[in-house]
Amino acid sequence: MISAVSPSLKRGLAGGLLLVVALTVLVLGTGASGDGGGDYRVRAIFDSASFLVPGEDVKVAGVKVGAIESLDVTPANKAAIVLRIDDPAFQDFKQDAFCTIRLQSLIGEKFVACQPTQPKSANSEPARPLRQIEHGANKGQYLLPVSNTSAPVDLDMLNNIMRLPERQRFAIIINELGVGLAGNGRELNAVIKRADPTLYQFDRVLAILASQNRTLANLARDSDAALAPVARQSESISDFIDKAGRTAAATAARGDDLEANFERFPAFLAQLRPTMRRLGEFATAGTPVMTNLRAAAPSVNTLFRQLGPFSQAALPTFRTLGDLADTGRQALPAAEPIIRDIRGFAVEAKPFARTLSRGLVSLRGQNGIQRLLEIILETTGTANGFDSVGHYLRTFLTVPAQCLRYALRQETSSCFATFNDQASAASTQSSPDAGSVDASGSNGSAALVDAPAAAEPVPTTHPPAGSGVLNYLLGGSGR
């Protein structure tokens, strides 16, 4: 397919390709040095350029189109600002162009807002371009005269007028102004317009207010009700204005630091974003807790109300604890020798305690306590017996030979038992015989006493009900 192309066609294609390459190189080579390469500079003359610095923005309709390249002072003591216009679409300032200085932020940063030309009707002719400077150090720049610029009055200047002694001096200037410039009203008007470019905008404001006279009349009628509270707080407002002036002055003095803070603010927000996200998750998770806490708020309030009387009641306890602390402050030093001896004993008993611990651990591991209990149980079981009634203990009660007779009173000193005076008196009244039984069944104590050689044999009759039954049983078992 390629070999079938004629030589003339090949030469045409090669020539077209070379033409395209040449055009590309021409465009790329001249693009940086043309009008769109940032060489378009406007030398704007202002009455004042306070707080403007190189590098600030130049905007058209709020869009950045360049920056301030340099600042200078003209022989007429005007401020000359060189505006570098980088956007090719706005490198055609006309003779009716207008630039003004505006605030960019509350910290005093400013920028230059421009209109390359004024809007015109479709049938009107466009304005002529700005005059280009042809000689001198500013050769090639486009001159924008002072009549096409305006500089706003800074807030600190207005605040300075309200201070003393500037306020008094300003009043003197106003009073003497009519005397000094009598008959020069036209020149004075021109000077005032140049000294304060805001008067031009003020004329436009007055025109707007004139078209809204009815609304203003209603505002004046209804403003009394709104201004009455303000009038009552006039001193506070005056103090606020005075302090606002001081704040503005301090802010202007720290403008560079504030600008550095605002430059770091986006990075700070980026680092703060994860923390705020976690804080939001915590708030979401804590919503049920806060809901329950709100429901429990009445109980919590009751608790705090009752906490006051409780605190008052607890004061004596805390005073007692204070007294106890005072006593303990004296007791602890006195107990120091004992504590030292206990510590020495603990140190000396450490080997024994270690050995005892090992023995107890071994005893627990081998179930020694359980085995000991089993031995006691089984040994006791082998020494006893049981019959059809139940288990019984094989014992032998040894009773002295002297204490085999049942008696209600003690007759000999060799046999001891429990007797009381009431039982003895009851026994004496009932029968003079020491060996007789109390037939009335009194609560007197009885005991077995040793029987004399000539005494009667031990009676075999059952004793009366009372505390003597145990002694009778013991006597019976002895026989």
Residue 26 has pLDDT above 70, yes or no: no
* Nearest CA among 410, 413, 422, 479 for reference residue 448: 410
Residue 303 has pLDDT above 80, yes or no: yes
Q: pLDDT digit string (tens) for 442-478?
A: 444 444 444 444 444 444 444 444 444 444 444 444 3
The values of phi and psi at residue 168, to 5°, are -65, -40
* Residue 216: partners with Cβ closer than 8 Å, 6 or more residues away: 209
The enclosing H or E element of 331 equals helix 297-334
The values of phi and psi at residue 81, to 5°, are -115, 125
- The structure tokens listed for 2 are 């390629």
Residues in the chain: 479
CA 280 – CA 455 distance, rounded (Å): 109
Cα–Cα distance list, 264 to 86, 107, 267, 279 (Å): 27, 15, 6, 22
* Residue 67: partners with Cβ closer than 8 Å, 6 or more residues away: 54, 55, 56, 57, 58, 83, 84, 86
The pLDDT assigned to 405 comes to: 60
Residue 188 has pLDDT above 60, yes or no: yes
Residue 40, strand partner residues: 85
HSE-up of 409 (CA within 13 Å, CB side)? 19
CA 450 – CA 456 distance, rounded (Å): 12
Q: Rg of the chain's alpha carbons, rounded to an integer?
A: 61
CA 72 – CA 136 distance, rounded (Å): 14
Residue 281 has pLDDT above 50, yes or no: yes
Q: Which residue has the higher pLDDT, 161 or 418?
A: 161
Q: Do residues 85 and 65 make contact, with C-beta atoms less than 8 angstroms apart?
A: yes
Cα–Cα distance list, 358 to 178, 331, 343, 351, 371 (Å): 116, 37, 22, 11, 18
CA 8 – CA 14 distance, rounded (Å): 10
Q: Is 444 helix (H, G, I), strand (E, B) or coil?
A: coil
Which single residue is written with the structure tokens 């800074």?
Answer: 154
Q: Do residues 255 and 109 make contact, with C-beta atoms less than 8 angstroms apart?
A: yes
269-305 as b/e, with b when 16 or more CB fall inside 10 Å? Answer: eeeeeeeeeeeeeeeeeeeeeeeeeeeeeeeeeeeee
Residue 463, strand partner residues: none
Residue 283 has pLDDT above 70, yes or no: yes
- The most distant pair of C-alpha atoms in the chain lies apart, rounded to whole Å, by 178
* Range 125-134 average pLDDT: 89
Q: Do residues 45 and 146 make contact, with C-beta atoms less than 8 angstroms apart?
A: yes
The pLDDT assigned to 400 comes to: 58
Q: Do residues 193 and 199 make contact, with C-beta atoms less than 8 angstroms apart?
A: yes
Name the pLDDT band for 80 (thresholds 50, 70, 90).
very high
The values of phi and psi at residue 92, to 5°, are -145, 55
The pLDDT assigned to 168 comes to: 84
Least confident of 186-195, 275-284, 289-298: 186-195
- The structure tokens listed for 472 are 């009778």
Dihedral of the alpha carbons of 334, 339, 344, 349, in degrees to the nearest 10: 150
Residue 27 has pLDDT above 70, yes or no: no
* Residue 394: partners with Cβ closer than 8 Å, 6 or more residues away: 383, 384, 385
Residue 341 has pLDDT above 80, yes or no: yes
Tell me how crowded residue 46 is: count the other CB atoms within 10 A of its CB. 23
* Nearest CA among 84, 85, 95 for reference residue 118: 95
HSE-up of 174 (CA within 13 Å, CB side)? 7
Residue 60 has pLDDT above 90, yes or no: yes
* Residue 472: partners with Cβ closer than 8 Å, 6 or more residues away: 406, 446, 462, 463
The values of phi and psi at residue 78, to 5°, are -105, 160
The enclosing H or E element of 345 equals helix 336-348
CA 411 – CA 450 distance, rounded (Å): 8
Omega of the bond prior to 165 within 30 degrees of 0, cis? yes
The values of phi and psi at residue 43, to 5°, are -95, 100
Q: pLDDT digit string (tens) for 107-127?
A: 778 899 999 998 888 788 888
Q: Do residues 461 and 438 make contact, with C-beta atoms less than 8 angstroms apart?
A: no
Name the pLDDT band for 190 (thresholds 50, 70, 90).
confident
Which single residue is written with the structure tokens 């081998």?
Answer: 366
Taking each helix axis from N to C end, the angle separating 297-334 and 336-348, rounded to the nearest 10 degrees, works out to 90
Q: pLDDT digit string (tens) for 149-176?
A: 988 777 777 777 777 888 888 888 887 7
